Structure 1
């Protein structure tokens, strides 16, 4: 097992790419299909790259990765920290999305001291470019020519980029238009002291420092024409001259000065905080129950005590006269047994309608053809209910048998038998 690991490490180091970088200077490593012995076939997103520190899941904090849509390439960039790290091993995994072929390349970054590091730096924020635009040699040379030919002529021999970062990473807002550039923050450094033109420019933009950010169409500087002709739109509110003699200025407004640790540190399971949910569960159960009890008590109080003050005259009259309605009906039935159904119904209807019951009820005499049986008007009768009347249906009769038929009665015969 150990021999296998030693052999793997040996093979990895033997076929690794070597990159030499300098302290205090931005380096760039290009990731393209040629690095993995592939041929570019014209598809912009055919190849996907994933870079990390060897045997770690992520890159060091001072190394950034960005994929350029314009160049169809990936870029690793950053500034090496001033620490004793002679070699940084990286692992880059490439994926061909067409056939899902995967290849791995190893890159060893060797850090060395810069012979003449920059002492004076110019910090600026450019709104109309992205990070990958600076990796274009022609674009970068046009920016440096503005300083080497017009603003900082003494820095012609040693002017270089000492810091580069996306404005979004430093807290700027992402533009609303997706096609609009995110903007960058960079610093150009040199050993030469600041020129008079740079100092005059700083004095010119000092009143703008109280504003967090200038609009993109702001052009009120004497050197604006140099940058506009080269295709750069500067945020003059962020323009600074970083002098090593002024330590306060050296660290003002630069979030990228604080370098993080060089390696990604993992966390252990024991260090993850554990939250107790017993209190949350208790409150989620107790609170609804308490509210339910309170609402039940309030509703019971309202129903038990508030209804005593409610008074309805029509309901009181109905319930007070209900007994008399029944007793009067029973008495009238005893006096006249032929009065059966209509009286209580009409009396009750009169009471509910607000009228006193009338004694002039409709009484129907018994039909002589049906014997001594009596009947009342049908519930569908229209007597005394309107002008148009119709006859009532015959009354219901119970079945009669042969034994009940009187042969002396001429009105009854076998045709009227019911069984």
Structure 2
């Protein structure tokens, strides 16, 4: 009964998973403020393993890779960025929408499980609304001991905001943008402990700057930064050493003062002034290319012909056999011919006297090495064709039959 109830529960969960329609993730963000959406691996792990709670027990920690793009487009909107350092890390979508990005932005999220190679698709709908309130006073701070994916979590942003509140002297602060130093042309750090990419954090407020922040624009501050000395007069407090601000790379952006428009161009009469008669430039003199032709074509060609003649002379006229033949005198040639003739006559005489010498007994057919006898005369004539190896016997074996 327990097994039957278990399978019934599993079947119910499977059917319900087929009938449930995946709802879109809907987010709202105003213009000019930082938007961050965290892609949690644990949430998508449940999508790949829907019966973990039913089966009771085995919890997976699969590596996952996220790919995000705008619906019906190959990439993300220009104001939105995505980062994921490692398949075992969570992903982040972040950016600051502008006025021209008002409206709905549909983002498709594709998740690939690198253990089972299953895929899952989700949709994120970002509704960009008009700005809630203006933030004319903005400041950008550089944090050198942070990386972009370590600053995007909400708890770390809250820590940084609390430190800046003490410097700014107001609680009305909002994140405007967060940018990695690599996106600003920074160098990739060494993969060693204590080396970080660095992050630019921009915050805005409707409250004016404090005295501490205004000191960033003084000549004394700029002089100290150029010298490279340690700046210790600022009223900054950082509870976490990783969130301490590098003041020489921090700037103030005051948008409260309207920027005067550029002066309009002066409209003329539309008639060009008289510039005199047209005087075309003098044509350059004709150049003689014959010396160049001789240097680049004729001289290499003549040099190649000379080398070919030298090679032909060495190969055809300086052979070793021809030299020896030319060096031999008539007397030496006659002696050489006589020596060859004498050697030929001697070999011919030795070949003629070969028949007068008796043939060795060991080469005769049916020769007994122990007795020295030949084959009996009543043997058939075909016995002379028996091979010598077959005709011989062992040296100490008697061929006569024993009585």
- TM-score clears 0.5: yes
1:196 is matched with 211
The answer on 1:98 being equivalent to 2:118 is: no
User: 1:208 touches 1:236 (CA, 8 Å); kept in 2?
Assistant: no
Give the secondary structure class of the aligned counterpart of 1:98: coil
2:366 is matched with none
2:91 is matched with 74
User: 1:92 touches 1:104 (CA, 8 Å); kept in 2?
Assistant: yes
> How far is 1:181 from its partner?
2.7
1:117 is matched with 134
Change (3 A) 1:17 1:189: same
1:255 is matched with none
User: 1:143 touches 1:230 (CA, 8 Å); kept in 2?
Assistant: no
Q: Flag structure 1 segments of 5+ consecutive residues without an equivalent.
A: 1-10, 249-290, 343-372, 377-394, 406-412
Q: Which moved more, 1:170-179 or 1:320-329?
A: 320-329
> How far is 1:198 from its partner?
1.0
2:243 is matched with 232
Change (3 A) 1:78 1:103: same
Change (3 A) 1:220 1:321: same
Change (3 A) 1:94 1:226: same
User: 2:63 touches 2:88 (CA, 8 Å); kept in 1?
Assistant: no
The answer on 1:206 being equivalent to 2:222 is: yes
1:6 is matched with none
1:243 is matched with 254
User: 1:29 touches 1:76 (CA, 8 Å); kept in 2?
Assistant: yes
TM (norm. structure 2) is: 0.57
Change (3 A) 1:42 1:59: farther
Q: Flag structure 2 segments of 5+ consecutive residues without an equivalent.
A: 1-18, 53-57, 260-295, 360-403
Give aligned pairs, total: 289
Distance 1:70 1:225 in 2: 37
User: 1:16 touches 1:106 (CA, 8 Å); kept in 2?
Assistant: yes
Q: How does 1:403-418 map to 2 (within 5 A)?
A: 414-415=356-357
> How far is 1:53 from its partner?
0.9
The answer on 1:325 being equivalent to 2:328 is: yes
User: 1:152 touches 1:194 (CA, 8 Å); kept in 2?
Assistant: yes
1:49 is matched with 66
User: 2:40 touches 2:91 (CA, 8 Å); kept in 1?
Assistant: yes
Q: Of 338, 341, 349, which residue of structure 2 is paired with 1:340?
A: 338
Give the secondary structure class of the aligned counterpart of 2:213: helix
2:161 is matched with 144
1:397 is matched with 347
TM (norm. structure 1) is: 0.56
